């Protein structure tokens, strides 16, 4: 089309042409559209499973909303102590004052909504958690697509879509997403932050944003910060001048020497400085909070040791994290099974099986994780092998920290702390490249069925018959 002076004007695209542009393969718009679809689907399912009781009322354990309300009144402590409906569960007591001891970022996000609602009780924290829970699966899809675009995963777009949904509904993330209480909100937000960190840390592409994500993780789920090993490895890799890629077939000594000779140290320092700056700021926030609350200037969390709980003595004796807790936590994460009725009792338990509220083993709730141990041969693909190793480390180090924590995760359907690194485990399923058929498909069906059962039944009075609860936390396996 021409104007009177002979100049041409751009042709207006039709609705069909605009839709085609949005759906063009490998386009950013298409990825964002599919990620939005995943978010919408997940939030819809999570909301249906959560139900009106959790969506339209505050939960009994709305600690983050209480903390946000305390800030709105210019306080760090709860002026009148914990409300009666919380049953004084998991609050810190110091010099006669009551504090919310959980890392503060979820409370920061809730603060404007608590302000609008007028009180913690008028704010629906369970609903807030459901809206938030769709983020991690959507971000995981973007991570998997980035791996595909950079040829470090051979999965198709459709397979990445399915893996993202399997994360949402085939792992303990499902029951976590619909709980809404203080312990589970942090896990939901932590999973989203670990996904964002992964997305920005790949190729050390966005050092500052990767650092922001990990700094926010320190203010939400501190163990996730140890996944920073992934950024460190990627920063070194992309700071190397031309030459054989890390993981090439050489002896370790020669490889380290060659790496040092090719390393652009200034580029590495620049990337690491941008990455570390937000994390240092997050440590400063914690140090300030500890100072104004307890007159102790430390960037490390320690106020869980002040919890008014029955097992406070073990924390004072053995610490919050240590080898002492490792055996018990590993037993729960790797060997805990449903309890069957005694032979002479039929259905004496009132149900065909019971689940100890220490939670089921990871391979029971999500047998897909077994494929992480069995990737396709990567020896002839150095780039993928290098990434597989570094992503494995990014999962293992936070996992070891969680396994050394003083609490097994009780109460839970499955080992809920795995949410801290499950994004990395699903990325390994993508990089590993095993076909998603046969046994894998059967394991996927089991994973979805098992975790759907957990999401529907856990912490619901009408399904209590399926669960064994021991307030002392000392019974891990079925007594003889």
CB 204 within 8 A of CB 210: yes
CA quadruple 427, 433, 439, 442: dihedral sign: positive
The bridge status of strand 92-94 relative to strand 97-99 is antiparallel
Question: Cα separation of 260 and 244, whole Å?
Answer: 12
Alpha-carbon 442 to chain mean position: 25
CB neighbours (10 Å) of residue 361? Answer: 17
Tell me what pLDDT residue 70 has.
98
Residues lower than pLDDT 50 in the chain: 244
Question: Cα separation of 202 and 146, whole Å?
Answer: 8
Tens digits of residue pLDDT in 345-354: 555 567 899 9
CB 338 within 8 A of CB 360: yes
Distances in Å between the alpha carbon of 63 and those of 88, 100, 203, 295? 10, 6, 38, 22
Distances in Å between the alpha carbon of 47 and those of 121, 180, 293, 330? 20, 11, 37, 32
Q: Which residues contact 375 (CB under 8 A, 6 or more apart)?
A: 388, 428, 431, 432, 433, 434
Task: Quickly list H helices, 240-372.
Answer: 252-262, 265-294, 312-318, 326-335, 362-365
Nearest to residue 145, comparing CAs of 29, 224, 231?
Answer: 29
Tell me what pLDDT residue 52 has.
96
- Looking at residue 473, the DSSP 8-state letter turns out to be S
Tell me what pLDDT residue 6 has.
58
Question: Cα separation of 383 and 385, whole Å?
Answer: 5
Question: Cα separation of 157 and 256, whole Å?
Answer: 36
Tokens of 280: 């240092």
Count Cα neighbours of 78 within 13 Å in the Cβ-side half-sphere. Answer: 21
Tell me what pLDDT residue 123 has.
98
Tell me what pLDDT residue 3 has.
55
Question: Cα separation of 56 and 181, whole Å?
Answer: 14
Residue with tokens 């939005």: 36
């Amino acid at each position: 089309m021409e104007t009177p002076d002979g100049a041409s004007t751009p042709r207006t695209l039709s609705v069909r042409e605009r839709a085609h542009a949005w759906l063009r393969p490998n386009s950013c718009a298409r990825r964002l559209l599919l990620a939005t679809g995943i978010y919408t689907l997940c939030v819809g399912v999570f909301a249906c499973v959560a139900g009106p009781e959790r969506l339209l009322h505050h939960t009994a354990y709305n600690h983050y909303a209480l903390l946000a309300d305390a800030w709105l009144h210019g306080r760090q402590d709860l002026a009148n102590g914990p409300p009666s409906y919380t049953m004084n569960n998991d609050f810190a007591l110091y010099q006669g004052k009551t504090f919310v001891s959980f890392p503060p970022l979820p409370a920061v996000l809730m603060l404007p909504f608590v302000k609008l609602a007028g009180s913690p009780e008028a704010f629906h924290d369970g609903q807030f958690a459901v809206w938030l829970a769709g983020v991690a699966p959507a971000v995981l899809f973007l991570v998997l697509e980035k791996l595909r675009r950079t040829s470090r995963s051979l999965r198709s777009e459709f397979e990445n879509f399915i893996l993202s949904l399997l994360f949402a509904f085939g792992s303990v993330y499902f029951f976590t997403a619909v709980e809404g209480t203080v312990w589970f909100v942090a896990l939901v937000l932590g999973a989203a932050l670990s996904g964002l960190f992964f997305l920005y840390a790949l190729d050390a592409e966005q050092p500052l944003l990767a650092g922001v994500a990990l700094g926010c993780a320190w203010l939400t789920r501190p163990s996730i910060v140890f996944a920073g090993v992934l950024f460190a490895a990627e920063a070194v890799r992309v700071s190397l001048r031309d030459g054989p890629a890390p993981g090439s077939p050489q002896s370790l000594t020669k490889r380290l020497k060659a790496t040092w000779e090719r390393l652009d140290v200034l580029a590495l320092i620049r990337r690491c400085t941008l990455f570390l700056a937000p994390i240092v700021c997050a440590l400063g926030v914690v140090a300030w909070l500890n100072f104004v609350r307890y007159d102790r200037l430390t960037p490390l969390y320690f106020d869980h040791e002040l919890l008014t709980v029955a097992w406070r003595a073990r924390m004072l004796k053995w610490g919050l994290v240590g080898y002492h807790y490792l055996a018990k936590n590993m037993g729960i994460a790797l060997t805990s099974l449903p309890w069957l009725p005694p032979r002479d009792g039929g259905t004496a338990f009132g149900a065909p099986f019971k689940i100890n509220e220490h939670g089921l083993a990871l391979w029971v709730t999500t047998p897909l994780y077994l494929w992480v141990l069995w990737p396709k041969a990567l020896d002839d693909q150095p780039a993928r092998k290098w990434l597989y190793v570094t992503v494995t480390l990014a999962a293992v180090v936070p996992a070891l920290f969680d396994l050394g924590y003083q609490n097994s995760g009780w109460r839970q359907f499955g080992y809920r702390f795995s949410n801290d690194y499950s994004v990395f485990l699903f990325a390994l399923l993508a990089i590993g490249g095993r076909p998603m058929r046969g046994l894998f498909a059967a394991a996927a069906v089991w994973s979805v069925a098992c975790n759907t059962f957990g999401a529907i039944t856990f912490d619901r009075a009408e399904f209590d018959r399926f669960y064994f609860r021991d307030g002392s936390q000392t019974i891990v396996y079925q007594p003889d």
